[in-house]
Amino acid sequence: MPSLNRKKPILAFFCNWAPYRCYMDLCRSESSFRHLIYPVKVMCSGRVDPAMVLFAFEKGAEGVMVLGCKDKECRYGPGPKQSTKIAEPIKALIHILGLESERFRSVKYSFNEKNRLLEEIDSFAKTVDKLKKSPFVP
């Protein structure tokens, strides 16, 4: 079976808690999860800073996702707020660089939302698929 995004890899920063669990559930479930995701695990989505996202783009990611816990469900506290805070500047920066701001998405999950995660990844992959090749892909 050909994978959907073989040539358009998406890098996803997963918060260790709810989103990663959704991701695990999703990969384990029988629903045909066929997206090429490069998962990078962080303890909290608040750790992800613009440098990491930009680095991923620089290295050739066609899309970058930051998946965090929902606002009041963060194990640590500040994570969701922090990841929201960086989302806008990142979008603006990649826009200036000439990348479509749709290439970056920051989404929040509860631990049992594997279906929502699937939808989100599906739609993100579709969005990225439609865009032309990123100038940073070698």
Smallest distance, another protein to C-beta of residue 1, A: 5
Nearer to another protein, 111 or 127 (CB): 111
Minimum CB separation of residue 2 from another protein in Å reads 7
Rounded Cα distance between 42 and 48, Å, is 8
How far apart are CB 96 and another protein at their closest, in Å? 5
CB neighbour list of residue 9: distance below 8 Å, 6 or more residues apart: 36, 37, 38, 60, 61, 62
By CB under 8 A, what part of segment 88-127 binds another protein? Answer: 88-89, 92-93, 95-98, 110-112
49 lies in the binding site for another protein (CB under 8 A): yes
Nearest to another protein of 35, 105 (CB atom): 35
Provide the minimum distance between the beta carbon of 85 and another protein in the complex, in angstroms, as a whole number. 9
* 136 interacts with another protein by CB under 8 A: yes
Any idea what DSSP says for residue 116? H
Q: Which of 28, 93, 39, 35 is nearest to 64 (CA)?
A: 39
- Is the distance from CB of 13 to CB of 64 less than 8 angstroms? yes
Task: Show the 3-state SS of 47-88.
Answer: HCCHHHHHHHHHHCCCEEEEEEECHHHCCCCCHHHHHHHHHH
Residues that bind another protein (CB under 8 A): 1-3, 6, 9, 11, 16-18, 20-21, 23-24, 27-28, 33-44, 46-52, 54-61, 71-79, 82, 86, 88-89, 92-93, 95-98, 110-112, 135-136
